[in-house]
Amino acid sequence: MVATDAREIAAQVERAGYEAILTTTRPESGTERVAEVVVKKEFTGFDLVLNVQGDEPLVAAAALSGALARVAGGDPIGTAAGALAPEHAADPSRVKVVCDARGRAQYFSRAPIPFDRDGTGDVHYHQHVGVYAYTREALHRWVGLPPAPPERWERLEQLRPLWHGMTIGVALLSEAVARGVDTPDDVEWVEAALTRQLKGVSP
């Protein structure tokens, strides 16, 4: 199901043979948009929700299954992250995440975290993927929480539940994250990659 507040997008989705649902323009994040949809009668029977954000058209299947596996393993919220080369760590459009020994997020940032203070070069960076799995209870709790200062500073919605003590499990993937859409150049690159896929050519 594609949730959008744009009739143009909904029309394109339906023209392609898929389902779309129009939401209000009130939601300030993808999670709030999903929460608006799941309370509708036709979705009340679902206990688990998977949110794939629209700016991640090339998201890997492993990221989706990994996020779901984190929730199945007991985390109320699941997401995923892939390997990130050190030369890209300072790019603010590539959101980094640091996890604890159990694979649970400690912090997300647009800054290069963890910071290689001594310049050892052996720091491992993980780039967050824009996908979330939630239990229904966790989703409703998330959107009911007040905004958090780090969420406002970093402009990252996932810092709200983290700030308020909710657990976010992260499926750590060994491969790099597929390119998302953050800039006009990204749009052109992703369009070309999707065209190659349709033609059966590896991106």
pLDDT per residue as tens digits for the range 14-63:
999 999 999 987 778 889 999 999 999 999 899 999 999 888 888 999 99
Joined together, the tokens standing for residue 112 give 């290069």
Q: Give the H or E element holding residue 122.
A: none
Contact 160, 30 (CB under 8 A): no
DSSP secondary structure of 16-50? TT--EEE--S--SSHHHHHHHHHTSGGGTT-SEEE
In this prediction, residue 185 carries a pLDDT of 84
The single residue listed with the structure tokens 């996908």 is 131
- Say how many residues make up the chain: 203
> So what's the pLDDT on residue 52?
94
User: Is there a contact between 108 and 197 (Cβ–Cβ < 8 Å)?
Assistant: no
What number of other Cβ atoms are within 10 A of residue 55's Cβ? Answer: 14
pLDDT band at residue 182, thresholds of 50, 70 and 90? Answer: confident
Output the pLDDT for position 173: 95
Distance CA 21, CA 56 (A): 19
Handedness of CA 141, 127, 66, 14 (dihedral sign): positive
pLDDT at residue 134, as a whole number: 97
pLDDT at 51: 96
Average pLDDT, the chain: 92
**Measured distance CA(73)–CA(159) in Å, rounded:** 21
User: What is the average per-residue pLDDT within 149-156?
Assistant: 96
Q: Which residues pair with 176 in a beta bridge?
A: 83
Q: Read off the pLDDT band of 202 (50, 70, 90).
A: low
26 vs 162 pLDDT, higher one: 162
- Helix crossing, 136-144 with 30-38: angle to 10°? 120
Ranges of each domain in the chain = 47-198
Q: What's the pLDDT score for residue 201? A: 63
So what's the pLDDT on residue 15? 95
DSSP H or E run through 9: helix 7-15
Spell out the CATH class of 47-198: alpha beta
